[in-house]
Copies of this chain bind each other. A is one copy, B any other.
Amino acid sequence: MGVTRPPAERAALRAWVRLLQAHKTVLGCVREELSGEVTLPRFDLLSNLDREDGQTLAQLSRRMLVTAGNLTGLVDRAERDGLVERRADPDDRRATRVHLTRLGKKLYAEAAARHSRRIAGRFEALEPAELEELARLLDKLLGKEPAR
């Protein structure tokens, strides 16, 4: 019960708890929208491929922070549903490159548009400057230079 902690820990913990709540709340609101069709890990996959098509599983694994074994399953399911396809890498016979299909692109574009509108609505409580600041703080937390 209400264990006492150093102030620095308390502040960090407070921020982390908020971050968890915000994640869960916004996610719940996003899920309604994407509903079945696209799960978040799948959306993450499509989004990565949209940014750079034809990545290898190893690349995706590193970027998405998902183990290779689980990525196989994720890509399997996306391929089964006709959203992506595997193609052999001509230069490295160990490697497989993953490409968005036309359906995958279409579905991603639609989902991203709805997603984006929904997110914008959900974040409306924050002023533009506050949005910037939130993104900046999270970037700093992630150890990245603020993006432009």
Residues of A with Cβ closer than 8 Å to B? 1, 3, 5-6, 8-9, 11-16, 18-26, 28, 40, 44, 50-51, 65, 109, 112-113, 116-117, 119-120, 122-126, 128, 130-135, 137-143, 147
Q: Which of A12, A21, A25, A117 has the most CB of B within 10 A?
A: A12
A13 to B138, CA, bound (A): 13
Q: How many copies does the complex hold?
A: 2
A112 to B55, CA, bound (A): 39
Of the A-B pairs whose beta carbons lie under 8 Å apart in the complex, a sample of 9, sorted by A's number, is A3-B112, A5-B113, A9-B116, A18-B139, A19-B22, A25-B65, A126-B137, A126-B141, A137-B137
A73 to B51, CA, bound (A): 39
